[in-house]
């Protein structure tokens, strides 16, 4: 298959914005699986980083549309959040644990699903593998759920009253040492006569599954500040945040507490042409396993900028320098993911465009961090579901 050819797969795809956490380097001979979801269907593909290819291996169906997924640190279990996206009494939301087949990546239900109080817009697990944390956008909040010794889901961990979850939480992450939880609360831009809801980055202490208020980062009272996702540098005290409506990348320093600096160290545009920002918004963000590069999604309408912005990172200061805006060959790249070796990146182009189905675009990552398009797998034209989540997981040996 040439780099310009387009394979056709019945891609089931909702997106992994989080991206699934991976080891810094793939073990020799190890296999990597890409999971992608469309509606309630979650499909596994064998990912070959050397050939930059995906091969379908099977799928499972959740009770409602897949929202987000995150692996156990052992990589033997995958936790999947699902929802019918309805608030209030008609909502149906939950969290299901799967056992990962270590030979094929196939998913097998593991224990009983857990009911959730609202749509789980994002999930993460703590580095000790003791808890899964779910973030909710409406109403803004979070819950912590114990993980049993066998990897199945346990009881919800009670939390103290008065936790500040801001407005419209969009992502939750735990720092690599398990001492701090960061929740990006996007707020909402003014629209249709409704005033703006301010955004903030909320920082919490974290100990044995219990959260505590630590800091609220909200410049200008959170106005014109719409943080969507964050990611951690693997070896330096830097946190990178995508600011959705402002099309910016912010860099924060990890300070004593631990917490985050009250103001960003750096702020950079995400767009190749910032003067054409109408209708644009950022999406997911991922730091390369070696910490030298940051990748960030730009979403736009058909004819707008749908790209992955690539930054080189100064190891001493954390300063990012925009070195590429790689077109994703589709529309609305809500999420994307990197393989554990850091040599392949896969983008989920969520929306159909001009009769072309949604798609997964595969890129090779060069030693200089830049992306080279390899191939595209288009969704079955009869499948009207959008691509909403995708992520890669290295199978343990």
State phi, psi for 339 to the nearest 5 degrees: -80, 160
Distance separating alpha carbons of residues 18 and 301, to the nearest angstrom = 22
Question: Cβ(368)–Cβ(335) under 8 Å?
Answer: no
CA 208 to the chain's CA centroid: 24
Read off the pLDDT band of 27 (50, 70, 90): low
**Coil, strand, or helix at residue 119?**
coil
| 3-state secondary structure at position 386 | coil
Percentages of the chain per state (helix, strand, coil), in multiples of 5 = 5, 50, 45
3 or 241, which is more confident? 241
Go through 319-344 and write b for each residue having 16 or more CB atoms within 10 A of its CB, e for each that does not.
ebebebbbbbbbbbbbbbbbbbbbbb
Classify 307 as helix, strand or coil: strand
Q: Is the pLDDT of residue 201 over 90?
A: yes
What is the reported pLDDT for 29? 63
For the range 20-23, what are the long-range contacts, defined as Cβ-Cβ under 8 Å and sequence gap of 24 or more? 20/69, 20/70, 20/71, 20/337, 20/391, 20/392, 20/393, 21/70, 21/71, 21/73, 22/289, 22/338, 22/339, 22/340, 22/392, 22/393, 22/394, 23/289, 23/340, 23/394
Could you give the CA distance from residue 138 to residue 146 in angstroms, rounded to a whole number? 23
pLDDT attached to residue 277:
86
The DSSP bridge partners found for residue 269 are 248
**C-alpha span between 397 and 394 (Å, rounded):** 9
Calculated CA dihedral for residues 130, 136, 139, 143, nearest 10 degrees: 0
DSSP β-bridge partners for residue 162: none
pLDDT the model gives residue 13 = 28
Neighbours of 47 (CB within 10 A): 25
pLDDT confidence of residue 339 = 96
pLDDT value of position 28: 56
The 10 Å Cβ neighbour count of residue 279 is 12
Confidence (pLDDT) at 384? 85
Q: What is the pLDDT of residue 15?
A: 26
Query: Quick one: pLDDT band at residue 107, thresholds 50, 70, 90?
Result: very high
**Interval 241-279: pLDDT, tens:** 999 999 999 999 999 999 999 999 999 999 999 988 889
Rounded to the nearest integer, the mean pLDDT of the chain is 92
pTM to 2 decimals?
Answer: 0.92
Alpha carbons within 13 A on the beta-carbon side of 277: 12
Which has the higher per-residue pLDDT, 268 or 381? 268
What is the rounded distance in angstroms from the CA atom of residue 41 to the CA atom of residue 63? 9
Of the listed ranges 2-16, 67-81, 304-318, 360-374, the least confidently predicted one is 2-16
Q: What's the rounded Cα separation, in Å, for the pair 299 and 280? A: 6
Instruction: Tell me the C-alpha distance between 307 and 297, whole Å.
Output: 6
pLDDT digits (tens, 9 = 90+) for 153-187: 999 999 999 999 999 999 999 999 999 999 999 99
Query: How far is Cα 56 from Cα 116, in angstroms, rounded to an integer?
Result: 30
Residue 361: which pLDDT band, with cuts at 50, 70 and 90?
very high
pLDDT at 276: 84
| Cα separation values, 180 from 127, 242, 258, 273, Å | 11, 19, 6, 36
Per DSSP bridges, beta strands 200-207 and 180-185 are: antiparallel
81 secondary structure, DSSP code: E
Mind listing the domains of the chain with CATH numbers? 6-394 (2.130.10.10)
3-state secondary structure at position 227? strand
92 by Cβ neighbours in 10 Å (0-12 / 13-18 / 19+) ranks as middle
- The C-alpha atoms of residue 294 and residue 315 are separated, in whole angstroms, by 12
Decide: helix, strand or coil at residue 395: coil
State yes or no: pLDDT of 138 exceeds 50: yes
pLDDT of 98 > 90? The answer is yes
Predicted confidence (pLDDT) per residue in 32-69, tens digit? 999 999 999 999 999 999 999 999 999 999 999 999 99
């Amino acid at each position: 298959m040439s780099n310009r050819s387009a394979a056709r797969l019945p891609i089931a795809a909702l997106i992994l914005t989080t991206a699934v956490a991976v080891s810094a380097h793939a073990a020799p001979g190890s296999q990597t699986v890409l999971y992608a979801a469309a509606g309630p269907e979650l499909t596994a593909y064998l990912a070959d980083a050397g050939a930059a290819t995906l091969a379908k291996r099977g799928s499972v169906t959740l009770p409602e549309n897949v929202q987000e997924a995150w692996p156990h640190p052992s990589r033997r279990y995958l936790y999947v959040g699902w929802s019918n996206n309805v608030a209030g009494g008609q909502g149906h939301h939950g969290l299901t644990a799967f056992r990962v087949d270590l030979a094929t990546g196939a998913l097998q239900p593991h224990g009983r699903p857990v009911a959730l109080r609202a749509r789980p817009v994002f999930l993460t697990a703590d580095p000790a593998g003791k808890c899964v944390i779910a973030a909710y956008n409406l109403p803004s909040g979070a819950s912590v759920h114990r993980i049993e010794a066998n990897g199945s889901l346990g009881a919800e961990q009670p939390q103290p009253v008065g936790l500040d979850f801001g407005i419209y939480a969009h992502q939750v992450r735990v720092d690599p040492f398990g001492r701090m939880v960061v929740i990006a609360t996007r707020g909402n831009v003014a629209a249709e006569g409704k005033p703006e809801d301010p955004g903030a980055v909320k920082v919490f202490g974290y100990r044995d599954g219990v959260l505590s208020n630590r800091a609220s980062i909200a410049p200008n009272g959170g106005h014109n500040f719409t943080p969507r996702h964050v990611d951690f540098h693997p070896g330096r005290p830097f946190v990178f945040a995508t600011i959705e409506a402002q099309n910016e990348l912010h860099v924060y320093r990890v300070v004593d507490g631990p917490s985050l600096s009250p103001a960003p160290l750096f702020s950079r545009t995400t767009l190749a042409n910032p003067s054409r920002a109408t209708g644009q918004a950022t999406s997911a963000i991922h730091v390369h396993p070696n910490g030298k590069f940051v990748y960030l999604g730009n979403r736009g309408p058909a004819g707008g900028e749908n790209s992955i912005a690539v930054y080189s990172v100064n190891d001493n200061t954390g300063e990012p320098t925009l070195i590429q805006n790689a077109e994703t060959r589709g529309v609305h790249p809500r999420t994307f993911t990197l393989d554990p070796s850091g040599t392949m990146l896969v983008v989920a182009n969520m929306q159909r465009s001009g009769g072309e189905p949604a798609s997964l675009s595969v890129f090779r990552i060069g030693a200089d961090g830049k992306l080279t398009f390899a191939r595209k797998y288009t969704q079955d034209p009869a499948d009207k579901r959008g691509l909403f989540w995708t992520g890669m997981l290295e199978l343990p040996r």
